[in-house]
Amino acid sequence: LYLVYKTWVVFGFWTLAWTGLVTTLSGTILGNLIGSRAESKGKITYNPKEWPKFLNIIICAFVGYYLFTIINVPSISETDFYFGLCYLILLTALPIIWETYKLFRDRNDFVEIDVEFISYKDNKKTGKFEILKIKKAEGLVNLTLHFKDETTHTIALSEMNFNGTDKASLLKEINSRLPKIEETEQKV
């Protein structure tokens, strides 16, 4: 409670309220603004776009700079300055650095679906799976493929810059292409 009180004293309640609202809306809107689904020549590719997330990082950096200008005035005490600086480093600078690192690390990741296969690239990990061998797909954080031979494979969508909407769309797309159990039994 003291830290919350001290933060309000240093930055002001309304300043924290509107900057928090701006960064929350920015992350929510820009994180889900642009879908990653593209269809070309019978292939559906989910390749998350980086520019909305990069724009969110820039907005958060500007908010952090604005908060720094509030504490970087001669009238603020040295204690309040260092408290505010620690707040900005821990709650603005470090998250920006982490998100920038993840953005560049995961920038070329994708999942591709064609008539016969599901393939993916997650940094150096790749995989290609025949759709007819998949029994079901599930998971909204990470995609788990359950195969007919009772094995599974997990694709770490949480480490591939996918947003929630794209994860749900990908799962629905994969499940719609899987052969129905009745059709498979009739062919056997």
Instruction: Write out pLDDT tens, residues 12-50.
Output: 889 989 999 999 999 888 877 767 888 888 899 998 888
**Model pLDDT, residue 133:** 93
**Model pLDDT, residue 184:** 44
Please provide the average confidence, as pLDDT, over all residues in the chain: 88
Mean per-residue pLDDT for 104-115? 90
Judge whether residue 186 has pLDDT over 60: no
- Does pTM top 0.85 for this prediction? no
Mean per-residue pLDDT for 88-107? 92
* Burial of 61: CB neighbours in 10 Å, binned 0-12, 13-18, 19+: middle
CA dihedral of residues 163, 34, 44, 150 (deg, nearest 10): 10
**Model pLDDT, residue 50:** 85
Mean per-residue pLDDT for 95-113? 91
Judge whether residue 132 has pLDDT over 90: yes
Residues 6+ apart with CB under 8 A from 74: none
Residue pLDDT, tens place only, 51-68: 888 999 999 999 999 999
Mean per-residue pLDDT for 78-94? 93
Judge whether residue 116 has pLDDT over 70: yes
CA dihedral of residues 164, 170, 172, 177 (deg, nearest 10): -170
- The angle formed by the CA atoms of residues 124, 129 and 133, to the nearest 5 degrees, is 155
Please report which confidence band the pLDDT of residue 90 belongs to, taking 50, 70 and 90 as the band edges: very high
Judge whether residue 188 has pLDDT over 60: no
Residue pLDDT, tens place only, 141-185: 899 999 999 999 999 988 888 888 888 899 999 999 887 654 444
